[in-house]
Amino acid sequence: MLQFSSYLTLSKRLTQACAIAIFLFISSCANEAPPTGGKKDIKPPKIKYSSPANKSLNFHGSQIKIRFDEYIVQSLDPSEIIVSPPLSKNAKYLVNGKNLIIKLPPPLKDSTTYTINFGDAIKDNNENNVLKNFTFVFATGNALDSASISGHVVNIKEPTKTEDLIVALYPADSMAGILHSKPYYFAQTDKTGAFKIENIHAGAYRLYGLKDENLNYIYDQASELVGFSDTLITLSDSSKANADVIVFESRTARPKFADAVPTGPGSIMISYNAPIKTLKLDADILKSGDLMEVKASKDSIIYWFSDVYALKTKLILSANDSITDTARVELKYLTKDTIGEKKLYALKFEQQDIKRDSTRQNANSRPMRSPFKPIILNLSRPVVSLDSNKRVYILNDSTKKADTIRYAIGAETKRDFHPEFPQTPGMPYSLVIPDSTLRDQWGWWNKKLVYSWQTDNVDNFGNILLTMHFDHPEKYYIFKILDDQQNPVAAFYYVGNQERKVTLKNIAAGNYHLQAIEDANKNGEWDTGDIIKMLQPEKIINFKDVYTLKGNWDLEIEVKIQDQVTR
C-alpha cells in the first residue's frame, strides 16, 4: 500500500506540473514577447510567409498579414511607408510580436498593381536592424506591372558616399515633384550607389536622387543633396530602363540665415545655408577695428569683435543685399582677471593639420613638415599690429644656431603667420616669437611663442611628370592632383587639344588621384547645379586609376580625358 500510495502521489504531481506547463505555453502563445540574452543580433528580420503571398494576383481583400522570423518594432513610422499608386485613405499598420497586419481602406482600383514600399520602417526589436528596400506587391487584376529601372547614383563631391540615397520616380506631368510631394515609386541605393525599382506601371517618368536628411522623401532643405535625370524615362510593359543620377548641393536663389553662435571670447560664427558673396553687419558691440573672416566654403563668417567683456549682442545681417535677418547672441565673455591672474586665452598657435613622426622614437614627437612648402601657421586671434624691433628667429635645434628671419601676417584673415627662410631637409627647427611682438584684436601683446617641427627627409619626395592629351578643343578644364584624403596638392588650368607637359617637383611619396573639372562657364571654378532651374552641376571627371609615387622617383603619367568616366 505504501508503494501504491507513493505512486499515486507522484502521478498527481506530474499531472499538476504538466497542467502548469501547458498553461504557460498557451499564455506565451497568446502574447508574444521578444527573448532576452544571447549573441548580439546583426541581421535584419526575414519574411517567413505572408497572406496573401507577395506578388499575388486578383487580390480583393482588405487585409494583409506578414510573418517575420523575429520580433519587430511595435510601432511603425507611417511617414516611412509609401504606397503606389496612392490609396484613397491611409492604410493602418499593426504589429503583434512577429506579425505585421496591414489594413487597406476600400475601394482598391481594378486591374491595378499596388506597391507598398516600407523604406526603413521595419526593424527588429532588439538591435533595430533595418530591413532595407522591402516592398510588398499585389495586383487587383490578373497581371503585375513588370517594367523596371536600374542604375547608379553618383555623389559629385564625395564619390564614395553613395549609400542610402533615395531614388525617386514621379509621373512625367509632375514638374519638380520632389519639391512638393512624396515619390510615386522609390528605392534606396546600396554601398556602390546602385538601385533598382521594379513593378512599375507603363508610362513616362521623371527620375530624381536625394540625400534625405529629415526622412520625409521631399527636397526641402538646402543641405540635402539632390539630382535629376535630364531626360524623361518612358517605360512600356516589361521594359527595363537604365539611368544614372548625379546628386549635388543645389544653388539657391537667396541664401538663408542659419545661425549665429559664439565660438569663443571675441568671436561669433555666422552661418548660411549656401555660399554668400557679400555680408552687411550691424551690432551694438560693433567697433571700427572689428574684423570679418570668410571661411573657405563661403557659407560662414567669423566676426571678430574687440569688446570681450560684453555679455550679449544683437546682430543685424544682410547677405547678398537680401532681406535683413536679426539674431540675439549670448556671448562667451571674459572676466577682468582672465589674462592677468588666470592667464587664459593668451595668443597662441592653433593646432596644425600635419602628420607626426610615425617612428614614435620620441614621446614628444614633432610635426613632420615638407621642407619644400612654405610654412603658414594659424594664430588663435587676428593680429592688428606688431613691434618690428623685436627679433623673431629660427633656432636649428641640431646646431643651436639662431637666425633672425623676416615674416608677414596674412592680409585677409590677419591670423596667418608666414615665416620666411629656406628649410633644409631632415632638420629640427623651432620658431621663436619673443614676448610683446604681436598685438592681437583685443589689444593684448603676446607672451613668448615657440613652435617646433621636423623637416622631412628628401628621400620621401619625388616628381610627377604629366603628358596631357585632351581631344576637346572647345572645352576648358580645371585639372587637379589629389592625395588619398582628396586634398589637392596641385591644380592648373588646361585649354585645347594640343599636347602639354607638366612637371610637379618635390611631391611627397604616396598615392594620388587625378581629377578634371569641365569649366563650362569659364570662370575658373566649379559651379554646382540648380534643382529649381533644372541645371546640372559642372561635370567632375574622377580618373579611375590610382598612381603611386615613390621617394626619389619620377612618376610619368599620360592623361587622355576621353578615356575617363565621371564615377
pLDDT at position 8 over 50: no
Per residue in 124-151, pLDDT (tens digit) is: 998 999 999 899 999 999 999 999 999 9
Asked if omega into 107 is within 30° of 0 (cis), the reply is yes
Would you state the pLDDT for residue 273? 81
Weakest mean pLDDT among 35-44, 124-133, 248-257, 319-328: 35-44
Domains 257-340 and 368-456 share a fold: yes
Contacts of 531 (CB under 8 A, 6+ apart): 176, 178, 179, 219, 226, 227, 228, 250
CATH of 257-340, one of 1.10.3470, 2.60.40, 2.30.30, 3.90.930: 2.60.40
**Residue of 5, 521, 566, 561 lying closest to 244 (CA atoms):** 566
Category of 426 on φ-ψ map: left (φ > 0), alpha (ψ -120 to 50) or beta:
left
pLDDT at position 66 over 90: yes
Would you state the pLDDT for residue 253? 61
Where exactly are the structural domains of the chain?
47-139, 147-249, 257-340, 368-456, 460-563
Q: Which letter does DSSP use for residue 7 in this model? A: H
Contacts of 76 (CB under 8 A, 6+ apart): 93, 95, 100, 118, 121, 122
How sure is the predictor about 158, in pLDDT bands with cuts at 50, 70 and 90? confident
Would you state the pLDDT for residue 338? 60
- Let me know the angle formed at the C-alpha of 297 by 279 and 443, rounded to the nearest 5 degrees: 60
pLDDT at position 502 over 60: yes
How sure is the predictor about 113, in pLDDT bands with cuts at 50, 70 and 90? very high
Find the mean pLDDT for residues 54-69.
97
pLDDT at position 42 over 80: yes
Find the mean pLDDT for residues 373-399.
94
Cβ atoms of 529 and 537 within 8 Å: the answer is yes
User: Where in 353-487 does DSSP place strands (E)?
Assistant: 368-369, 377-378, 383-386, 393-396, 401-404, 406-409, 416-420, 428-433, 438-440, 449-455, 461-469, 476-482
Cβ atoms of 153 and 162 within 8 Å: the answer is yes
pLDDT at position 24 over 60: no
Which CATH code is given to the segment(s) 368-456?
2.60.40.1220
Q: Give SS3 for 460.
A: helix
Of 359 and 265, the one with more pLDDT:
265
CA distances from 441 to 266, 346, 386, 446, 519 (A): 8, 12, 12, 11, 40
Would you state the pLDDT for residue 384? 92
Would you state the pLDDT for residue 354? 52
* Mean pLDDT across the chain: 87
pLDDT at position 409 over 90: yes
How sure is the predictor about 471, in pLDDT bands with cuts at 50, 70 and 90? confident
Provide, rounded to the nearest whole percent, the portion of the chain with pLDDT above 90: 66
User: Where in 192-278 does DSSP place strands (E)?
Assistant: 194-200, 203-210, 225-228, 233-235, 240-242, 245-249, 257-264, 267-272
| Other Cβ atoms within 10 Å of 354 Cβ, number | 11
Per residue in 225-242, pLDDT (tens digit) is: 999 999 999 999 999 999
Per residue in 169-220, pLDDT (tens digit) is: 999 988 668 998 999 999 999 999 999 999 999 999 999 999 998 889 999 8
What pTM was computed for the model? 0.73
pLDDT at position 20 over 50: no
CATH superfamily of 147-249: Immunoglobulins (2.60.40.10)
Would you state the pLDDT for residue 428? 96
CA atoms of 322 and 520, how far apart (whole Å):
28
Which amino acid belongs to residue 97?
G
**Residue of 474, 561, 516, 529 lying closest to 230 (CA atoms):** 529
Would you state the pLDDT for residue 323? 76
pLDDT at position 360 over 50: no
Per residue in 437-467, pLDDT (tens digit) is: 999 988 889 999 999 999 999 999 999 999 9
pLDDT at position 1 over 80: no
| Kind of pairing between the strands at 547-549 and 300-304 | unpaired
How sure is the predictor about 419, in pLDDT bands with cuts at 50, 70 and 90? very high
To which residue does cell 591672474 refer? Answer: 341
Find the mean pLDDT for residues 464-491.
89
Find the mean pLDDT for residues 277-296.
90
Find the mean pLDDT for residues 370-384.
94
Would you state the pLDDT for residue 73? 95
Cβ atoms of 416 and 375 within 8 Å: the answer is no
Could you name the CATH architecture of 460-563? Answer: Sandwich (2.60)
How sure is the predictor about 472, in pLDDT bands with cuts at 50, 70 and 90? confident
Class of CATH domain 47-139: mainly beta
**Residue of 242, 180, 238, 246 lying closest to 208 (CA atoms):** 246
Would you state the pLDDT for residue 5? 37
**Residue of 358, 348, 375, 363 lying closest to 453 (CA atoms):** 375
C-alpha cell recorded at residue 413: 584673415
